[in-house]
Structure 1
Amino acid sequence: MATQSHSLSYAGCNFLRQRLVLSTLSGRPVKIRRIRARDDNPGLRDFEASFIRLLDKITNGSRIEINQTGTTLYYQPGLLYGGSVEHDCSVLRSIGYYLESLLCLAPFMKHPLRIVLRGVTNDQVDPSVDVLKATALPLLKQFGIDGESFELKVVRRGMPPGGGGEVFFSCPVRKVLKPVQLTDPGKIKRIRGIAYSVRVSPQMANRIVDSARSILNKFIPDIYIYTDHMKGVSSGKSPGFGLSLVAETTTGAFLSAELASNPQGQGAAVLPEDLGQNCAKLLLEEIYRVRLGLCRSGSGAIRERFAVSHSYSLATFFSEGLSQGINFFLRIQQFSIN
């Protein structure tokens, strides 16, 4: 059994989730000190503690030690076990915060993962479940992760601050990934999207679609934006609406943009027309950035994690502008995963 003296040591809360994921994949224990030590509210946040509990549920034999103030974390990963799991996520972050890491861990478990996550499905901080389904799942299929048991479904939609959403995710086991080359971004061939609304008038989603199309129709004809209005228990605990857009290129790349209304009781009211137009402009900006080699779309973090952490020859992708996330993964050589 590994001892704390042989663990990798870090300081601060930056990249905490990524460090724990790489620790789990490599089997190397980590010790993270001075987590917000000088903050007025020091230590781990509720959503980080919830993520650690999730790692404990999907592994077998993990050892987790947190000091009384929450400023020091020791994590010795166990076996990635999988199986059927249920987890209540913190409403401070959306389910996408947890799902991003699960997408990287699920293929390498002992048993196929079938998990139900409850909480916020769409917010203004993390990638939504809709964007991850439209961008990350096709990317993972290129790595050879597919099959009938590979599924991501929004059962209930939940907006902040109350949440109340529910997502089902299942993934088969794949011990070896296929090499992938994404060096040519290609040209945009179609745009798809979802305009959603919960606990507000269904017309909100229709107004979002009309305003987004008024911008996008000038550039490409193949556009289809679905409307999703959930009612009753499927609509969560808080009202809200939003839009997720995904552009697919001729080479199989996916570019995304999304916007959500302000949480109930926070900030000024947002008009659905303004939200639709602004989201369409964000997608156009994303397309422009990709043409310059500055990729930052929703599946980027997952792509970077697979490309860097599993094999030096596993993936080649276009990204002339290195984000903080890419730089972090390129600099981590202590996790000897290869």
Structure 2
Amino acid sequence: MSTNTLTFEGCNFFRQRLVLSTLSGKTVKIRKIRSTDDNPGLRDFEASFIRLLDKLTNGSKIIVSETGTSVLYQPGLLTGGSIEHDCSTQRSLGYYIEGLLLLAPFTKRPIKAILRGVTNDKIDPSVDSIKLSTFPVLKRFLGTDEGLELKVTRRGAAPDGGGEVVFCCPCRQKLRPIQFTEAGKVKRIRGVAWATRVSPSITNRIVEATRGVLNQFLPDIYIYTDHRKGGQSGKSPGFGLTLVAETLNGAFLCAESASNEKGSADGPTVSEDLGRDTAKLLLEEIYRGGCVDSSNQSMAALFMVLGQQDVSKIQTGTLSSYTIQFLRDIRDFFQVQFKVDVQKHGVEEGEGEGLQEGADKLLLTCVGVGFTNVSKPVL
């Protein structure tokens, strides 16, 4: 085994380590994957993600042990192009698209991926939140949104899925550095209330309950209703809501909720409660602030590192535990560390007492490694 091999233990952060391995070209070995569980080894959704990586690259070497508790991944070249993939229904399509988004700018050919599975669940970002809040962040690094598309052809709620999306992303020779340090005030809120295989009145009830909370703060609110039936509605009943707040400086902060799965131990979800809870989650996200929301912190950090050899700065709210580990893994794969400054809000320096936890903003600064797409000629 080469000295360039990084070794990790456990199943946590499995996807991000494979993505960073693919970008850095470093071989990665992950051991002791659920080795103490009654059902040890890789789960279906992790195996499905490995197969998706294999379709996206050329010359990757993947060795999985007989028990599935150990994986050796030697990355090949990112080729991209047109791919089709049936994703595991254990996780939603957001799990796979998030991984694709981190790799897509550096492929040889622009990606056009047709993915099938669960479009909305309670764990991963939905296809709606990726379109509403992740795409604007990606656009800042790409410099354009030409060729960037995520089209929902069929919706599929958890647990059985049956949804289908088409994801397209252009590739670039290099990414732009970013200076995004002031989010500005919220100017409008947009959203999507969706429903599959349930009464169409549910989306209207969600919208009404959501407006009851948000109209106390802002008049400019528009929530689009998307009720799917027949062949476009997947295999399971479900409904949910995705909200995004847009600020004056072009930051997009997102929050979302989905109904409990059919047969869930928690019982059926009340649509009005879901609307009110999602509105409160959005207000919480706005309170935490930052120029990117919690779910997009890790992507922004990675693209800052992969940018040109120039200083990039971005303001965030409190870092999620996922992002904190992501920054550690970036350090291991790319030897880049971020400078993190805490910016106190609403108090003078030295008067931190009484400040609500989470009101602080963080300023992340790093110098890009000058990562270039080897498959794209310099124009």
Q: If the TM-score is normalised by the length of the shorter chain, which range does it land in?
A: over 0.9
Query: What secondary structure does 1:96 align onto?
Result: helix
**2:325 corresponds to which of 314, 324, 328:** 328
Q: Indicate the residue corresponding to 2:315 in structure 1.
A: 318
TM-score (norm 2): 0.84
Q: Alpha-carbon deviation of 1:8?
A: 1.1
Q: Indicate the residue corresponding to 1:298 in structure 2.
A: 295
Q: Indicate the residue corresponding to 1:252 in structure 2.
A: 250
Instruction: Please say which of residues 272-281 and 176-185 is displaced more in the overlay.
Output: 176-185
Q: Indicate the residue corresponding to 2:286 in structure 1.
A: 287
Q: Alpha-carbon deviation of 1:167?
A: 0.7
Instruction: Establish whether residue 239 from structure 1 lines up as the match of residue 223 from structure 2.
Output: no
Q: Indicate the residue corresponding to 2:13 in structure 1.
A: 15
Note the residue ranges of structure 2 that are not aligned, 5 or more in a row: 336-368, 370-379
Q: Indicate the residue corresponding to 2:274 in structure 1.
A: 275
Change in 2 beyond 3 A, CA 1:311/1:8: farther
Computed over aligned residues only, the root mean square deviation of the Cα atoms, in angstroms, reads 1.7
Q: Alpha-carbon deviation of 1:134?
A: 0.5
- For 1:234, the aligned partner's letter is Q
- For 1:327, the aligned partner's letter is I
Query: What secondary structure does 1:112 align onto?
Result: strand
In structure 2, how many angstroms separate the alpha carbons of the residues matched to 1:147 and 1:283? 25
TM-score (norm 1): 0.94
Instruction: Establish whether residue 27 from structure 1 lines up as the match of residue 25 from structure 2.
Output: yes
In structure 2, how many angstroms separate the alpha carbons of the residues matched to 1:330 and 1:146? 26
Q: Is the 8 A contact 1:294 1:321 kept in 2?
A: no
Within 5 A, what are the aligned runs for 1:41-190? Answer: 41-190=39-188
Q: Deviations over 1:39-62 (max 9, x none)?
A: 111111110110010000000010
Q: Indicate the residue corresponding to 1:220 in structure 2.
A: 218
In structure 2, how many angstroms separate the alpha carbons of the residues matched to 1:251 and 1:63? 44
Within 5 A, what are the aligned runs for 1:192-207? Answer: 192-207=190-205
In structure 1, how many angstroms separate the alpha carbons of the residues matched to 2:37 and 2:311? 40
Q: Is the 8 A contact 1:96 1:129 kept in 2?
A: yes
- The alignment-based identity, stated in percent, is 58
Q: Alpha-carbon deviation of 1:5?
A: 5.1
- For 2:93, the aligned partner's letter is I
Give the greater-gyration-radius structure (CA).
Answer: 2
In structure 1, how many angstroms separate the alpha carbons of the residues matched to 2:201 and 2:310? 49
- For 1:58, the aligned partner's letter is L
Query: What secondary structure does 1:299 align onto?
Result: helix
In structure 1, how many angstroms separate the alpha carbons of the residues matched to 2:283 and 2:159? 29
In structure 1, how many angstroms separate the alpha carbons of the residues matched to 2:296 and 2:157? 22
Q: Alpha-carbon deviation of 1:336?
A: 3.2
In structure 2, how many angstroms separate the alpha carbons of the residues matched to 1:80 and 1:314? 26
In structure 1, how many angstroms separate the alpha carbons of the residues matched to 2:77 and 2:281? 41
Q: Is the 8 A contact 2:177 2:304 kept in 1?
A: no
In structure 2, how many angstroms separate the alpha carbons of the residues matched to 1:126 and 1:138? 19
Q: Deviations over 1:297-325 (max 9, x none)?
A: 33223212222455674631112533323
Q: Alpha-carbon deviation of 1:180?
A: 1.4
Q: Alpha-carbon deviation of 1:185?
A: 1.9
Q: Is the 8 A contact 1:286 1:295 kept in 2?
A: no
Change in 2 beyond 3 A, CA 1:77/1:310: farther
Change in 2 beyond 3 A, CA 1:322/1:297: closer
- For 2:57, the aligned partner's letter is T
Q: Is the 8 A contact 1:135 1:298 kept in 2?
A: no
Structure 1 stretches of 4+ with a deviation exceeding 2 A read 3-6, 144-148, 293-301, 307-315, 319-334
Change in 2 beyond 3 A, CA 1:15/1:171: same
In structure 2, how many angstroms separate the alpha carbons of the residues matched to 1:314 and 1:165? 41
Q: Alpha-carbon deviation of 1:146?
A: 2.9
The number of aligned residues is: 334
